[in-house]
Structure 1
Amino acid sequence: MRGLPGPPSDEPPSGEPPAGGGLPARGLALRGLARGEEPSRLRDALTALGPLAVLVVAPRGTDVPLTDVVITEPGDEATHPAGALVLAIGVRGAAADGLVRAAGRDGATAVALRPGDGTERLLETAEAAGVALLTLTAQARWEQVETVAQAVVGNAVMLPGLDPGDSHGDLFSLAQTIATLTGGIVAIEDSANHVVAYSKSDDGADDMRRESILTRNCPERYLSVLREWGVYQRLRAGEEIVDVPAYEELGLRPRVVAAVRAGSRLLGTIWVQRGLSPLSPRTSEVLRGSARLAALHLVRYRGEASLAAGLREDLAGALIDGRVPAGAVVGHLGLDPCAQMTVIAIDPRAPAEQVDPSRRELRDARTTEIVSVYAAAYRQLALVTHLAGRVYLLLPETSGTTDGAAVTRWVQGLVSALRQNLGTPVQAAIARVVSGMEEVPAARLSADRMLESMVRMGDRAVATFEELHASVVLDEIVGLFRDPAVRDPSLDLLVRHDARHGTDLARSLLLYLDAFGDVAKVAEGLHVHPNTLRHRVRRAVALTGLDLADPDRRLLAMLQLRAARREP
């Protein structure tokens, strides 16, 4: 498809000078919007482009009009229409500096280009010009980007992500995750009672389940019973979760149904049938979170303009990684830029031998899916993203203050569920609460450092910033002693002496310093006589020349000896 025809326009055809002078941009295939139509927005194009492009910076946010798509190449001296997306073919990195300035001067909305050297400097240019900057991903082709963007500008109905099958794939994955977390048999239906996704079945599947999957529709004889019982009426009236009892005459087992809504509009339902085993006590919580996630996918399935789940995750990743200024994405994510936010990092702690990329990818996807389900149930505007083998969770506070104890209890429950489902010693670090979105990247780094400290804590499942702050800071300081230029050679000699002669002088000296010289306490801990400890300390001092009366040297000795004990 080369593009969709736009509505009639009073603009001259491509190639003719517009009134008022200037040259039209090359490749203008769409003629703008008919008068009175609501223009598309940059966010709509980002949603539709999905994995084809990455938003690098958006100085004016993403809720800005997008009224045209133009192509420019090196050497073009084009006047870019106001509100246009400029496709900079053949221009990379710093070479696009002049083009971006010109686009900003002309009032264009965004420039898309291939990434290249000097892209970081180009960020500053785009910020100053007030132009959003998009970079194409490796798999994107210019004709794809042009076609999708033109369709968005022309108000053509395009499924976010381009392929309805993508939505189906996401929904099937979600259905299987719900089944895993609830212990039930899951089906997801749209508002017309068509089955759009389902989990794997077992011998506990009842007649309604089997027939619905075979025909992809709920049979009428079952629908009539559900209507008679008022199930759909209760869902439309606003109930989130409805219990449906067994009905032996029709071979119905008990099930629970959740409404999937966009605002007050019912988009569909999630059905969890009890199989051979009872449902999990947390089924209602899982369904509430799943319904919020399913709403994003069902919107895609219906072809309505909305924020796709994939784009939301990408933007959350860009926010937490610091690749995009918070101001450029918070509006798109529906967040208050000044709201308090708790940042949580989760590490699956998968065995090191699991190096197969496909297995690792499946594990990461499953972890993200489970966290997303629980997070959506706990906090409606929660953001979940996956970066470098870890899952990051952003919990915005909507009530003004954060209840740290409640968040910790919830994270403990989440980690317990993850450990049960993944079979690995999952750990989570709850970073400090930040008072604005601009502080999120720093909080993420803090959470990463906390997870690194937790490696030495055995089976510790969850830790808070307050609990680990001293350990994290100490880790940072101790890390300096990896540099030989920082270490005291005499203390290195002491450690090597212990290794060669089987003595314990370095550890004894460290414990002595840690205990502020309390000989009795340290000797008891080492199970030696106090005089033995005194002898060890004197030997260590003699070998190193350490002046115990110098507080600075004492402190540095403690840090270096502590660093030595942490080395492999």
Structure 2
Amino acid sequence: MSTLARVLDELGTTLIDLLAGDPGRADDVGGVVIDDPLDDQVLPGQALVLGIGLREPAEISARLAELGTHDAAALMVRAPLAVTDEIIAAAEHSGVALLGLAPGASWTQLAALLRSLLAEDDVGPGETLGGLPSGDLFALANAVAALIGAPVTIEDRSSRVLAFSGRQEDTDPSRVETILGRQVPRKYSQSLEQRGVFRRLYRSGGPVYIDSMPGDETVLPRMAIAVRAGDEILGSIWAVVREPLPDDRARAFCDAANLVALHLMRQRAGADVERRLRADLVSTAVEGGAGAAEALRRLGLADQAAVVLALALEDSHGDDPARHAEHLAQRQQIADALAMHLSAVHPRAAAALVGDVAYAILPVSQDDAAARTATDFRNRIGDRPAVLIGVGPVADGLGLAKSKAGADLVLRVLRAGRGRGPVARLSDVHSEGLLLELSDRIAERGDGLSGPLARLVAYDRKHNACLVQTLGAWLDAFGDVAAASAAVFVHPSTFRYRLRRLSEVGEIDLTDPDVRFALMLQLRLWHPGG
């Protein structure tokens, strides 16, 4: 059961403290929501609300009272906090427990950890592996810790913490820092790498004893064992010990690694099924058609305004076959990161990878709000890998296909290098989008370059001249010869001569506004050298 009491049992002492209220009042926690006082949020029942930035007792008390009217389970704020009588009374009256997040812990990592802990099982409610609920890594970590008599963490290949047991307060600062950041600190992982620990761990079929880190006596020894599925390394289990485990506990450690492998494989298989199902629902919803209404209903997005986001890696189109696998993994990682970010901002948002583009449905009524959310995500992940995000127009109900078409067009503009940033709305690239659509029409009809511009191109190629460049510079400068000649680095007199020459060669009347417009449009649609 994903109750508030279980959250405190699994994450307490190290990450979370109960500051006020009774956690036993809440039934199953209905979701994790980042509190935004500037947004009219719709909270799921029994929500666990992350009150980022709440510090003053008065505002905390007021927020507890308000959350009580929305049937929330708990409010979490940053500790340490002076718990006043006013706060205790507000928690008691509202029925909303107040939790404190340990100093140094990341809100982002906590949100991910909570969602992992509270996620519904991807298998039947009664399915177990080794007597434990399938995929429940926290229960598994506690069971392993009880077997070997030492606090443990279960980590993936990248030393990210998947779950941890109790009794972590009996360990060392390195372990506490690992759990707070949900990642082994870089200085410790580098030390292990330099000492050849990972090489020994992945080559060994049993537990490996690791001495204290040289130069840092505060770091206790470890016993670690690799978690394998056949020849594949899935991760590892790390126990904080004082000395090597006795033979009987070492054998139990090996047996535990086999059980952890089963749980990780079952969890991964369930995640793959869940991911494919969500991708099908998102794809059906944004494409429109007969199944769109049912897909939106199953996503919880029926009968409301929404915006479609289209996200792609900046350098992944036209993939090099040698980098195909790398790009495939990057796309899925970015899609998962986008889904997590959007669910924290808008609990009902949905995102999935469809082909090489990640699509997201964001339930907002304004495209500028969607653009701000997309920009915030882009800023959070940085430039490795660099991504481009197209924001479609707002659509109502079953009109998401129109929003998707707009987002796709914006993404095309950005991929063509015609945008002014990595995130754009359709209104931001309206003219560039029109030019791309016009280019598509011309390409469909198979039309080639003709008229005066075709004559100038032929002359330039035959005589190695630059009349087309001269014309483009003059049109871009609105006929200002001084500015145009400076743009192409020639003397104004030379530029005037070239203007007269291109008028003769192309048989162009530069005084005719219709002729100038037609030439400017052709130059925008035609790419020299392309």
- Given the two structures, how large is their TM-score scaled by the length of structure 2? 0.50
